[in-house]
Amino acid sequence: MSTAYYLQKEGYKVTLVDKSNMDSGASYVNAGYITPSHFIPLAAPGIITKGIKWMFDSSSPFYVKPRVDLDFLKWSLAFKKSATKTKVEKAIQPILDINLLGRDLYEDLKKLNDFNFHYDHKGLLMLYKSDNVGEEEWEFGKKGIQQGLQVENLSANEVEKLQPNTNLNIKGAVYYHSDAHMTPGVFMKEMISCLDKKGVVFYKNETVKDLNISRGKITSIITDKREIEVDEVVLAAGSWSPQITKKLGLKIPIQAGKGYSINVKNDTKITIPAILCEAKVAITPMQGFTRFAGTMEIAGINHTINAKRVDAIANAVKNYYENILNGGKFKFLDRTKEFQIYDYFNEYKYYVVIDCSTGYEALARGKKVAHLNIVYDVSRVSGGKNNRYGWPGQFDLKGPFWTNKASKEEIFRCLDFIFSEPK
């Protein structure tokens, strides 16, 4: 969408085609970092050895799912060939230039009347718990100084002065003053609204099926709903790009990467973004909440949630911040495993249930419960009278802590109710 913005600004007539509704995905739920500090490519010396170790641990910071797939094997080989000292040194300046340009462009957008998104330039803290990791991070910091960035090596006490009342359990931090952050979901909504007002055409929920090519030039795009004549094409399909470029005889070595995040609306006292170095977890104070994100997973295009990776983020946060997440425990109860739900009633205070009678038992035991009677709404079939809380009781379709609508707004409303402390 940023490409569309600058193209229409130059006078081009722009049409956007997307297979989604453009209201979700990585553009909305990333860590929101604008990071000149990240000038070292991921394919760096030593990462292969770490990656092999992490491959056998599904909760590791960087997990590559081993699989027999020709494109994946080619990508792995190219990644290995790139992980050399010489290639890393060549990549530093171009990556830094792109990151600095990106930061400048965001700041330019922020100054315009077209936008009103959250943006802060407060830097980034690389928090470490061990001396070895601290020394390694400071080596990167000194490279940053050589590149013209303002970087400091801080003690735990100096970090505490920057982030009071966060109860950090660390040895120190490398502080990059160059970095900024934002709330990506807010920015995306602002950008879509701006493009719509400027006449950009949106074709949402349309999949590109084919390309018409004449004399080496794309003349039209065929989706599952229409044919669109074009003069120029910009491909920005992320991990889906190789599926489209194969039609052009181009092979782009891209593998889908999936991250996980936890949003906390409680006041965490965190005001400066941070990365937990050993755990590879990113923390961002956003507009109205704090996001904890991390655990990159290279496992092909899929939407499966690995509960172990969510747990890993929560456990890492509690290992660095003593009072964050209220010291609580997170557990996903897998219905495919045999267990007695009654064994958990005394262990947890909050329960979120989806079309499950267990919620009534938890409620009777004095627990805080969010009832989401949403299966029939998601499946788009009629559920009859039992598609409501408390059936066969005559309750409204939605109440303070229950709903039968599978919308984000309704679910968050119920969650906000049970997690809010009584006044």
Q: What are phi and psi of 140, to 5 degrees?
A: -65, -40
pLDDT reported for residue 327: 47
pLDDT reported for residue 348: 75
Cβ atoms of 351 and 370 within 8 Å: the answer is yes
Cβ atoms of 261 and 157 within 8 Å: the answer is no
DSSP 244: H
Q: Which H helix or E strand runs over 222?
A: strand 217-223
Count of CA atoms in the C-beta half-sphere (13 A) of 156? 12
Task: Say how many C-beta atoms besides its own lie within 10 A of residue 83's C-beta.
Answer: 19
DSSP H helix total and E strand total for the chain: 13, 19
Instruction: Please state whether the predicted TM-score (pTM) of the whole model is above 0.85.
Output: no
Residue-wise pLDDT for 349-376, tens only, equals 888 888 777 788 888 888 888 888 887 6
Task: Say how many C-beta atoms besides its own lie within 10 A of residue 246's C-beta.
Answer: 12
- Specify the 3-state DSSP secondary structure of 63: strand
Q: Which residue do the tokens 């922020």 mark?
A: 110
Closest CA to 257 of 33, 2, 64, 24: 64
Token pair recorded at residue 173:
């931090």
* Below-50 pLDDT ranges, the chain: 327-328, 335-337, 383-384, 423
pLDDT reported for residue 202: 96
pLDDT reported for residue 262: 85
- Specify the 3-state DSSP secondary structure of 201: strand
The identity of residue 402, as a single letter, is W
Cα of 333 vs its chain's centroid, Å: 23
